[in-house]
Amino acid sequence: MTNIMRYLLVLAGLFSGIICFGQIQHLTVGINGLTCSQCSRSVELQLRKLSFIKDVSMNLQQTEGTLSLVQSNTAIPFDEIAQAVKDAGFSVRFLTVTFTPETLSQIKNKELQSGADRFYIVNAADTPYKTNTFQFVGKIYMPPTVFKKYKKLLPPSAPDQSSYWLIPSGK
Amino acid sequence: MHNNMWKSCATTLLSFIFLLHTAAAQELFPLSDPASSMPKHVLGIRFFSETYHEVTQWRNMSAVRLMYGLTPKLTTYLTAIASNHHGEDFPKEFPFHNTPERGAIYPYKFNGAHLYLKYRFLTLDGQNKHLRVAVYGEGAYVNTTHHESEPNLEMGDNSGIGGGAIATWLNNKLAVSLTIGYIKPFHAEGYSPDPIHSLPPVPVDVRYGEALHFAFSLGYLIYPVQYRDYRQTNINLYLECRGKYFNHAEVTLFHKQPNEYVLSTLRYPKALQTGFFADISPGIQFIVRSNLRIDFSTTFRMLGFSYARLYPVYTIGIQRYFYFGKK
């Protein structure tokens, strides 16, 4: 995909509001250090403060939260999810994004546009992908020991703002 | 009496260890602070109260605490303390008689305030487990006199400063927290009424003993066995062992007068001498709708003696968090 095409796709997504190349079903955030329902509630309420979060459903047993997003074509600051967990006093174990199943066919050259966000898929075989859930890769999205493992897979240059590295989720 | 006490302590501890294998852990200790911090920009309000029976009356120290998460790692508490435990003056003939003073009537009054800052500097989080270490600093200002050497900033016995470290380890079914702290109490000036009514009261200056203190706390959840939602009332059991080593006080009579003299420690009653004690405090806690926290605990003597309280000491705490900007 050329840069011009990418640019056109972003513009189309922004202005039409109809053409979306990847649709996010939901996000799931795993939280480390969490042990009680009061702590879980604190995380949920920190997440609910985020303007782009529509709803939060916490799984107290698995210490995970499922997040649905407000429909928008503007860029989603996913790092704010990690920051909200940190603000509640806990750590992110993982952050995954689940796309609609039809989105998989729209992944070209391991790249996907969703709204104003661009995702790059690393450490994956060529399509078809066996899952429509992908995990964010980054220092703030996983424990330091896990990030160390994936760091070497990332290209040397950091992604632009509103661009994210993903790996197919094993979950 | 002591044998019975040890038996009850051992039974409580063994029951606790047994239950640790069947339940999840909690670190919201009724009497000690864990190394974990409050969520950022969340306000908490805690009311807590300490009560014991003394001769014919109940002594009570009550406090209202505002708690705030300044950053995810920095928490501050500001506490206002009132009690019927302290007066403005020292007892008559202090320190030769009436120390520790038992049965004196003091009106319920505002004692002062306590400020606490805690910074969590080590966080090793895993799924359902963590190891956290924090340091804290505290300061108290009270406008009342305290008649024993043992300092206590949190309940407003003394003015002073202090600091320490807290390590809290939590792994599925076991929550353990250790606090080590130091207290540097400020001296207090006041008057002790002269037994001869026609004479003016004796000006007294007391430099209370510096103290090292510790708390070793264990906690676990007994209900619910499995979390379903926030509406389930959580019931947690706790066992806390707290102790203090304190230096002797230094008492100056006729302070700042020509006949001023520093009293020899040999003449001190025990309550003003160097001492050590370790208490044990079983407690129960109810957390309603994952926010309203109600704690009850009772403190029993284990080793040594705290002259500043009488056993058993009953403690109640009620706490709630307020979240702003939520949807």
- What are B94-147's pLDDT values in tens digits? 887 767 778 788 889 999 999 999 999 999 999 988 999 999 999 999 998 888
Closest Cα in chain A to B38: A89
User: Is the Cβ–Cβ distance between B112 and B88 less than 8 Å?
Assistant: no
- Return d(Cα A164, Cα A159) in angstroms, integer: 6
> Residue A145 is part of a domain; what is its CATH number?
3.30.70.100
What integer pLDDT is reported at residue A28 of this predicted model? 97
Say which amino acid occupies B171. Answer: N
Identify which of B67, B71, B58 has the alpha carbon closest to the alpha carbon of residue B28: B67
Q: What residues in chain A have their Cβ under 8 A from chain B's Cβ atoms?
A: 30, 32-38, 40-42, 45-46, 48-49, 53, 60-61, 63, 86-91, 93, 143
User: Is the Cβ–Cβ distance between A147 and A167 less than 8 Å?
Assistant: no
At residue A147, the 3 state secondary structure works out as helix
Task: Reply yes or no: is the peptide bond before residue A128 cis, omega within 30 of 0.
Answer: yes
B193-208 in b/e burial notation, b at 16+ Cβ within 10 A?
beeeeeeeebbbbbbb
Question: What are the chain A neighbours of B238 within 8 Å (beta carbons)?
Answer: none
- How many Cβ pairs within 8 Å bridge chains A and B? 91
Domain count, chain A: 1
Closest Cα in chain B to A144: B124
Our CA-based measurement puts residue B14 at a distance from the nearest CA of chain A, in whole angstroms, of 23
What integer pLDDT is reported at residue A22 of this predicted model? 63
Residue A6, pLDDT > 90, answer no
The whole-model pTM stands at 0.86
Residue A16, pLDDT > 50, answer no
Task: Reply yes or no: is the peptide bond before residue B258 cis, omega within 30 of 0.
Answer: no
Give 10-residue mean pLDDT values along chain B (327 residues): 52 49 65 95 97 93 97 97 88 79 85 97 93 98 90 94 96 87 95 88 93 96 83 92 96 89 83 94 94 96 91 97 81
Say which amino acid occupies B248. Answer: H
A124-135 in b/e burial notation, b at 16+ Cβ within 10 A?
beeeebeebbbb
What integer pLDDT is reported at residue B173 of this predicted model? 67
Residue A160 belongs to what domain range?
3-168
Q: In what helix (H) or strand (E) does residue B113 lie, and over which residues does it extend?
A: strand B109-126
Q: Is B213 exposed, middle or buried (0-12, 13-18, 19+ CB in 10 A)?
A: buried
Question: What are the chain A neighbours of B174 within 8 Å (beta carbons)?
Answer: none
Q: Is B166 on the interface with A (CB under 8 A)?
A: no
Region A80-90: mean pLDDT is 96
The residues, ordered by sequence, that sit 6+ positions from A65 with a Cβ below 8 Å of its Cβ are A28, A29, A31, A43, A44, A47, A56, A57, A58, A59
- Return d(Cα B215, Cα B277) in angstroms, integer: 12
- Return d(Cα A160, Cα A152) in angstroms, integer: 18
> Residue B76 is part of a domain; what is its CATH number?
2.40.160.40
Domain count, chain B: 1
User: Is the Cβ–Cβ distance between A90 and B72 less than 8 Å?
Assistant: no
Residue B136 belongs to what domain range?
2-323
